[in-house]
Amino acid sequence: MSKSPFKRISVIGLGYIGLPTAAMFASRKIEVVGVDVNQHAVDTINRGEVHIVEPDLDMVVRAVVSEGYLRATTVPEPAEGFLIAVPTPFKGDNHDPDLSYIKAAALAIAPVLEAGNLVILESTSPVGATEAMADWLAEARPDLSFPQKAGESSDIRIAHCPERVLPGKVMQELITNDRVIGGMTPSCSAQAAALYTTFVTGDCVLASSPRVAEMAKLTENSFRDVNIAFANELSLICDELRMDVWELIRLANLHPRVNILQPGPGVGGHCIAVDPWFIVSSAPNQARLIRTAREVNDSKPNWVIEQVQAAIADTLIQNIERTPSDITIACFGVTFKADIDDLRESPSLAIVEELVRDSKCNVMVVEPNIESLPEVLRGAELVHSPRDASQRCDIALLLVGHREFKSTFLKPLLDGKHVIDAGGLLR
């Protein structure tokens, strides 16, 4: 870590990445102006509170707002460095990237840009997005020179430095993870590296271009997606061959060069299930494995639902007096991964949603991390006690391995129940 040459920076987009990043710079006594289009987020932050859940973030935001180092606003202000951390969702149904948030952020800061400023794109982006951003800025400010035309002598420096932090460990990984820095010129990279070394203790590694840095981030998440797809495919094969996939993976992983990930109900979150499509969109004819991995992971929730339907049919056959409304299904976990409260893009939530809508059974949701069920699960019952749910259910659908669902505790409770262990909770 070193003393920053930057005295005042601005972070555009105060979400899951932007707010922790803004708070981290502010904690190093740099004046940070946070900008967001969401007035509620701005007001919340200015009260020293947070609108997102991330361990330790609330504490840091409270401190830096009260000390005056972090302030939020809806209107960009001049600064020496700008970091853009806005969403890059899909456009339409085709999985093509939507750069409109990046464009809107670029056009919002353009009027306040001054010669000598650094602009960093942090949003996970398809290859070419940083160059597109540079073009939008140059169009908006013909009075300034940009690296795509002026090279090293440009007034404005531009770089792509993708965020790579794991939700749930953001405040720790922001500091310790290595950073990939892709400047449009060597001095763009050098300036960006100088900014991050304010708090990053990992290495700031320079990429030869923003395009390689963009691709590196997409590659990391695609690597993980392809490996999870391999595990998910094994779970289907094992079901067909009547084997326990968890035992199989444990045995195969004894090999020193094999490290298979875990199958589950599907891949959730907004990163791993999204980013591989950006590669497919850029090189559709080459990215065949990456596309297939996405399809394998996306089809896993339907397979789990089929397992539940088979269990319901089985229960009805065993007792012909019963109807589906006499059957209770307990679903263990609905968040997108273990030990968080985030329901966004959760495959488990999608599974339970369909069961509530179509199964005609009573559905219990056992979820220790949320206080109330979302509207899409209206009709289901939220239960906090795994013991209570286990006693009352006919079918136990195990989805997310929260720490409250330890195998040694759960296994005896579920004795005699019809168990579908999609998340490997009993392994």
Q: Which of 20, 97, 182, 268 lies at the binding interface for ligand SAJ (CB under 6 A)?
A: 268
228 binds ligand SAJ (CB under 6 A): yes
258 binds ligand SAJ (CB under 6 A): no
262 binds ligand SAJ (CB under 6 A): yes
- As a whole number of angstroms, the distance between CA 375 and CA 368 comes to 18
Q: Please identify which of the residues 161, 204, 271, 361 carries the catalytic annotation.
A: 271
336 binds ligand SAJ (CB under 6 A): yes
Q: How far is the CB of 174 from ligand SAJ (least distance, A)?
A: 10
Q: Looking at the DSSP assignment, which residues form a beta bridge with residue 378?
A: 380
Q: Which of 86, 271, 329, 364 lies at the binding interface for ligand SAJ (CB under 6 A)?
A: 271
- As a whole number of angstroms, the distance between CA 207 and CA 181 comes to 6
224 binds ligand SAJ (CB under 6 A): yes
Could you write out the three-class secondary structure of 186-254?
HHHHHHHHHHHCCCCCCCEEECCCHHHHHHHHHHHHHHHHHHHHHHHHHHHHHHHCCCCHHHHHHHHCC
User: Going by C-beta distance under 8 Å and a sequence separation of 6 or more, which residues neighbour residue 176?
Assistant: 201, 202
164 binds ligand SAJ (CB under 6 A): yes
C-alpha dihedral, 170 to 171 to 172 to 178, nearest 10°? 70
Sign of the CA dihedral with 354 first, then 359, 362, and 364 last: negative
DSSP result, 365-419: EE-TT-SS--GGGBTBEEE--HHHHHHH-SEEEE----GGG-HHHHHHHTTTSEE
Q: How far is the CB of 231 from ligand SAJ (least distance, A)?
A: 6
Count CB-CB contacts under 10 A for residue 376. Answer: 14
- As a whole number of angstroms, the distance between CA 229 and CA 293 comes to 5
427 binds ligand SAJ (CB under 6 A): no
129 binds ligand SAJ (CB under 6 A): no
Which residue in this structure is represented by tokens 């597109």? 132
Q: Which of 220, 298, 381, 388 lies at the binding interface for ligand SAJ (CB under 6 A)?
A: 220
- As a whole number of angstroms, the distance between CA 114 and CA 76 comes to 13
Q: How far is residue 397 from each of residues 245, 306, 361, measured CA to CA in Å?
A: 17, 12, 13
Q: Which of 267, 304, 393, 410 lies at the binding interface for ligand SAJ (CB under 6 A)?
A: 267
271 carries an active-site annotation:
yes
Closer Cβ to ligand SAJ, 34 or 264, answer by number: 264
264 binds ligand SAJ (CB under 6 A): yes
Closer Cβ to ligand SAJ, 41 or 422, answer by number: 422
Stretch that binds ligand SAJ, among 22-30, 54-62, 242-250, 261-269 (CB under 6 A): 261-269
Stretch that binds ligand SAJ, among 147-155, 161-169, 208-216, 277-285 (CB under 6 A): 161-169
124 binds ligand SAJ (CB under 6 A): yes
Closer Cβ to ligand SAJ, 262 or 282, answer by number: 262
- As a whole number of angstroms, the distance between CA 413 and CA 37 comes to 48
User: Going by C-beta distance under 8 Å and a sequence separation of 6 or more, which residues neighbour residue 116?
Assistant: 80, 155
- As a whole number of angstroms, the distance between CA 176 and CA 170 comes to 10
Q: How far is the CB of 409 from ligand SAJ (least distance, A)?
A: 21
234 binds ligand SAJ (CB under 6 A): no
Q: How far is the CB of 27 from ligand SAJ (least distance, A)?
A: 20
**Residue 395 dihedral angles phi and psi, to the nearest 5°:** -120, 130
Number of residues forming the site for ligand SAJ (CB under 6 A): 20
221 binds ligand SAJ (CB under 6 A): yes
217 carries an active-site annotation:
yes
233 binds ligand SAJ (CB under 6 A): no
272 binds ligand SAJ (CB under 6 A): yes
- Which among 130, 129, 104, 140 is positioned nearest to 12, based on CA atoms? 104
294 binds ligand SAJ (CB under 6 A): no
Let me know: does 75 contact 39? Beta carbons within 8 Å.
no
Structure tokens at 247: 């035992």
Closer Cβ to ligand SAJ, 14 or 137, answer by number: 14
Closer Cβ to ligand SAJ, 156 or 245, answer by number: 245
Closer Cβ to ligand SAJ, 55 or 151, answer by number: 55
Closer Cβ to ligand SAJ, 174 or 192, answer by number: 174
Q: Please identify which of the residues 161, 217, 331, 337 carries the catalytic annotation.
A: 217
Let me know: does 50 contact 76? Beta carbons within 8 Å.
no
Residues that bind ligand SAJ (CB under 6 A): 124, 163-167, 220-221, 224, 228, 261-262, 264, 267-269, 271-272, 336-337
User: Active-site residue numbers?
Assistant: 217, 271
